[in-house]
Structures are given as structure tokens and as C-alpha cells.
Amino acid sequence: MLHMNAEPAAYAADIEAIKQVVATVEHSQQHKDPDAFLALFHPDAVWTTAHGKVLIGLDAISEFTHKVLPAAHWDGEVRYEVVHVLFIRPDVAAVKVRQRYLGGSDESEGAPLYVMSKQDGGRWLLTACQNTGVVAD
């Protein structure tokens, strides 16, 4: 269930736009499409992988993504779900995501945090992101 800290009607369009970014992340991962994934990032973005690799700027994120995403191997589906949105300012949101690898031999879960910024023209971009793996109890 999606939770947020503001009146839903006031941020309804922004929440839908944020959900669309996350849906595009899901689609790009499912199809191992680095260019679709990279189109979602602010040029000065910071990305930390689930294994703690820090990538600063779109060039570093692009180099890493082009190397690992096409070669990624999972034999099931990957799903992303927005579970919480915190509007820090009207143009900055912290977005908690549930990431699940399903139906394969190595089912797992991640708990990414995406800090997104709204650009001129209303487009939301990934700006500072931490992808954290969830360790099973």
C-alpha cells in the first residue's frame, strides 16, 4: 500500500509521474535496456548499488549499467513497487521502492530509496539513489 505525507489530491499528478518513473525502471530491468534506464537520471545523479559501489554522475552510472545490465542473469521476473513517497519539497521526493526477483531459482528482494527531483517541465528524475538488498531472516 502506498503511503505519503501530504494530501493525496495535492500531489496526485506528481505521485503518478513518480510511479511511472519506477514502472520504467522495472521495464528497463525486465528488458535489460540500459538506455531506457539511464534516461531516468539527472546528469549529476549519485547511485549506490546494492553491493555498495558508489557511482557519481551519469557517465559513471552509464558505464556501470552498460556493463552489468545486459549481462544480468535472472531466470524469473523483476518487479518494482512504490511503497512510500515523502515530499521533502514540492520538487523533491524520497521514494521507497520494493524490488522483487520472482519465480526464479534465486528469489530475492531489495529496498531501494530513490530521491527524485522535479525538473522544469514537470519531469521527475532519479537524483540520489541507494539500492539495498534485503537479507532474509
pTM of the model: 0.88
120 or 72, higher pLDDT:
120
CB 76 within 8 A of CB 101: yes
**Residue 1 pLDDT level (bands cut at 50, 70, 90):** very low
**Residue 105 pLDDT level (bands cut at 50, 70, 90):** low
With 0-12 / 13-18 / 19 or more C-beta atoms within 10 angstroms meaning exposed / middle / buried, residue 114 is buried
What digits encode the pLDDT tens for the residues 3-53? 555 556 668 999 999 999 999 999 999 999 999 999 999 999 999 998 899
User: E strand or H helix at 22, and its extent?
Assistant: helix 8-30
**Residue 134 pLDDT level (bands cut at 50, 70, 90):** confident
Domains in the chain, CATH or no CATH each: 3-134 (3.10.450.50)
What digits encode the pLDDT tens for the residues 64-101? 999 998 887 766 688 999 999 999 999 999 999 999 98
